[in-house]
Amino acid sequence: MISCLTITRAARLHLLHRAVADFARQVHRDCELLIVHDAGPAFGLELDAMARAHPHSTIRTCAAATGSTLGDLRNLAVSEACGDFVCQWDDDDRYHPLRLQLQWEALVRDNADCCFLSDQLHFFPARRELYWDDWDAEPYPMNLVQGTMLVRKEGLPRYRSLARGEDTSLALELMRSGRRIARLRDHGWAYVYTYHGGNVWDEGHHLAISRLKHLRPARLWAREAKLRARLAEYDPPIGPVQMPCGNESLAIG
C-alpha cells in the first residue's frame, strides 16, 4: 500500500479540497491519504468532514503540536503512515488520476526503492500561465522533482527540522544511502506544481524555475495533443491557460 502524506494548516483549507479530490480520483486504489495538521480540534473536525465526503477512499487525519516545522510534520506523517511506501502529496498542488499508478509502475519496472518525476507542470493561477518544466536540465543526480517522491518507507531517512527545503535534503540523503531511484520522464502533465502566493518559496523563486527549465517551442508543440487530452482529465479543470515558450505562447482550455 502507498500512504500519500499531506501537511496542511487552517488557512489552506480551500487548497486542500482539490488535493483531496484528486487523491479520491486516483486509478491506483491500494492507497491511503494521511493529512497531518497543527491547527487544533475544530480544524480536525473540518478535515474529518472532508474525509467523509469521499467514502470510497481511505483518508485519515493526525493532529500535531502547534509550531512544528514542516520537516517535523513530515516526519510525523511518515511515522503514522500505514503503507509500505509513502508519497509526498502537498495540499496546494494538483494530481492527475494516473499519477500514483504511473510512478508505481516505474518503480516496479526499474526494481527501484523510490521514484521521482523528472518534469512537472508549473501553474501560476493569478497570471493564468502554465509551464512544462524539465528538471533534466539539472545535473545528475538532482535531475528530478524533489516534491514528487514515492519511496519505500522502511529505512527512510528522517527529514531535517526545516521550515522549507526539507524535501531537497531528504532526496540527497536517499542518494547518499544508495537507494535505487527511478526517474519517470516525459509525464509532466501528471503533477501540477502551483504558485498561489502563500507558498513557502516566493514568486521570484517559482518564476526562476520555469524561465530556466520550461520546454522550448519544438518540444512543447510535439506534446500538445497529449497535454490537451491529459489536462482535460483534471476535475476541476486547470484551464484556461497560456503556456509561454520562447517568444510564442500556447493557449489551452
- Range with lowest mean pLDDT among 117-121, 156-160, 244-248: 244-248
C-alpha grid cell, residue 32: 491511503
Q: How many CA atoms lie within 13 A of 34 on its CB side?
A: 25
pLDDT tens digit string along 165-217?
Answer: 899 999 999 999 989 999 999 999 999 999 999 998 999 999 999 999 999 99
247 Cβ contact partners less than 8 Å away, ≥ 6 residues apart: none
φ, ψ at 22 (rounded to 5°): -65, -40
C-alpha grid cell, residue 249: 505562447
φ, ψ at 129 (rounded to 5°): -110, 140
Handedness of CA 12, 17, 22, 28 (dihedral sign): positive
Strand bridging mode 181-184 / 114-117: parallel
**What average pLDDT does this structure show over 149-177?**
92
How far is 155 from 177, CA to CA, in rounded Å? 10
Q: What is the 3-state secondary structure (H, E, C) of 36-80?
A: EECCCHHHHHHHHHHHHCCCCCCEEEEECCCCCCHHHHHHHHHHH
- The confidence band for 250, taking pLDDT boundaries of 50, 70 and 90, is very high
Closest C-alpha among 45, 43, 54 to residue 8: 43
pLDDT at position 163, please? 87
Would you list the domain boundaries of the chain? 2-252
Confidence check: pLDDT of 94 > 90: yes
pLDDT tens digit string along 12-62?
Answer: 999 999 999 999 999 999 999 999 999 889 999 999 999 999 999 999 999
* CATH number for the domain whose boundaries are 2-252: 3.90.550.10
Place of cell 517551442: 217
φ, ψ at 217 (rounded to 5°): -50, -50
Neighbours of 68 (CB within 10 A): 17
Task: Determine what percent of the chain is predicted with pLDDT higher than 70.
Answer: 100
Confidence check: pLDDT of 160 > 90: yes
Whole-prediction pTM value?
A: 0.96
pLDDT at position 134, please? 97
Provide the CA 122 distance to its chain's centre, in angstroms. Answer: 11
pLDDT at position 67, please? 83
Q: What is the mean pLDDT of the chain?
A: 95
How far is 79 from 74, CA to CA, in rounded Å? 9
